[in-house]
Amino acid sequence: MAIPAEGETIQIHSYKHNGRIHRVWQETTVLKGTNNIVIGANERTLVTESDGRTWLTREPSICYFHAEHWFNIICMLRDDGVYYYCNVSSPFVYNNGSLKYIDYDLDVKVFPDMSYTLLDEDEYEDHKRQMGYPDVIDQILHRNVEKLIGWIKQRRGPFAQDFIEVWTNRYEFHRQNRIRD
C-alpha cells in the first residue's frame, strides 16, 4: 500500500458496505503518514455527499485513521473545546491520492469533558439488514466500539491530553509553509 507523504494534500473517501460512495472530503493535509497511521488536518474543506449536495466543514479538524482499528476519529477544534466524532469503520486503505474506508453507521460523539454518546444504532441495524453485514463484521464492529470507549476512558491516542496540541502545531506549520509558497 502506498503511504501519503507529510504535507501532501489528499482526499478522504467514505464508502458504504455495498461499495457505494458515501461522502468525499476534498482536501486534507497529511501531518503523518505510515503504513498503519494517517493523521491529517483540514479546515473549511468542501464535502460532497452521495446525493451531490455539498457543504463546508465549520472548524479546523485533526483526523486520525488506523490501518488495524475499525474506527477513525475526527477531532473538531471549537471555541468551547475539542469535540470528537468517531466513525465505526473499516481500517483505511490509501491509493491514488485518496484515503478510503467503509463507514459502518455507528458513531461515538465525545464531548470536551470526555463524556460520550453512541449514535445511529437504528441506522446501523437498518443497513445491517439492507446490505447484509456478515455476522463476523457485526462482531468486529461491536468489539471495536468497546475498544474505542476504552481509549476514551483511558485518554489514549487522539484522546490523550497532548495529541491536539502536537498535531495542531504541525498543521499550523504546514499552513504557514503553504502561504509562503
Residue 165 dihedral angles phi and psi, to the nearest 5°:
-60, -45
- Rounded Cα distance between 99 and 90, Å, is 12
23 is catalytic: yes
Q: Phi, psi (5° rounding) for residue 17?
A: -55, -30
Q: Where are the alpha helices (DSSP H) in 95-162?
A: 121-131, 135-154
Best CA proximity match to 40, nearest among 13, 12, 68: 12
Residues 69 and 147 sit within 8 Å (Cβ to Cβ): yes
Binding site, residues?
Answer: 87, 103, 105, 107, 120, 123
**Whole-number Å distance between alpha carbons of 167 and 52:** 31
Q: Which residue has the cell 486520525?
A: 64
Question: Binding site for Mg(2+): which residues?
Answer: 87, 103, 105, 107, 120, 123
Set 23, 53, 58, 129: catalytic member: 23
Neighbouring-strand partners of residue 30: 40
What's the number of CA atoms in the CB half-sphere (13 Å) around residue 168?
15
* Residues noted as catalytic: 23
